[in-house]
Amino acid sequence: MSLTITKISVQKKSKHRCSIFLDEEFGFGLHQDVVLKFGLKKGDVLSEDQIKEIILYEQKNKAKERALNLLSYRDRSENELRTRLENAGFDHATIDSVTEDLKRLQLIDDQRFALSFARSKILSRPSGEFLLERELKQKGIDPDLRIQTLEKIFREFDQYKLAAGLAKRKKAQLKSVDEGKAKKRVNDLLMRRGFGWGIISQIFDHWENLEQEDD
Asked if residue 189 is part of any domain, the answer here is: yes
**Per the domain annotation, does 137 fall within a domain?**
yes
CB within 8 Å of 4: residues ≥ 6 apart: 22, 23, 43, 44, 45, 46
pTM (two decimals): 0.82
User: DSSP characters for 54-118?
Assistant: HHHHHHHHHHHHHHHHHHHHS---HHHHHHHHHHTT--HHHHHHHHHHHHHTTS--HHHHHHHHH
Q: Are residues 152 and 176 located together in one domain of the fold?
A: no
For the domain that residue 103 is a member of, what is the CATH number? 1.10.10.10
89 assigned to some structural domain: yes
- Domains of the chain: total: 4
| Domain end position, chosen among 73, 93, 108 | 108
| 208 in the same domain as 165 | yes
Identify whether residues 2 and 40 lie together within a single domain. yes
What range does the domain containing 90 cover?
58-108
DSSP state of 12: S
Q: Is residue 52 part of a domain?
A: no
Identify whether 51 is part of a domain: no
Same domain, 163 and 207: yes
Tell me: do 166 and 203 sit in the same domain.
yes
User: Does 151 lie in the same domain as 163?
Assistant: no
Q: Is residue 53 part of a domain?
A: no
Reading the chain (215 residues) residue by residue, the pLDDT tens digits are 789 999 999 988 888 899 999 999 999 999 999 999 999 999 999 999 999 999 999 999 999 999 999 999 999 999 999 999 999 999 999 999 999 999 999 999 999 999 999 999 999 999 999 999 999 999 999 999 999 999 999 999 999 999 999 999 999 999 888 989 999 999 999 999 999 999 999 999 989 888 776 65
Q: Are residues 36 and 69 in the same domain?
A: no
Same domain (yes/no): 96, 125: no
Angle of the 78-87 helix axis to the 92-104 helix axis, nearest 10: 140
Flag whether 118 is in a domain: yes
How many angstroms separate the CA atoms of 205 and 201, rounded?
6
State residue 215's pLDDT score.
Answer: 58
Question: Do the domain assignments include residue 29?
Answer: yes
Q: What is the pLDDT of residue 167?
A: 94
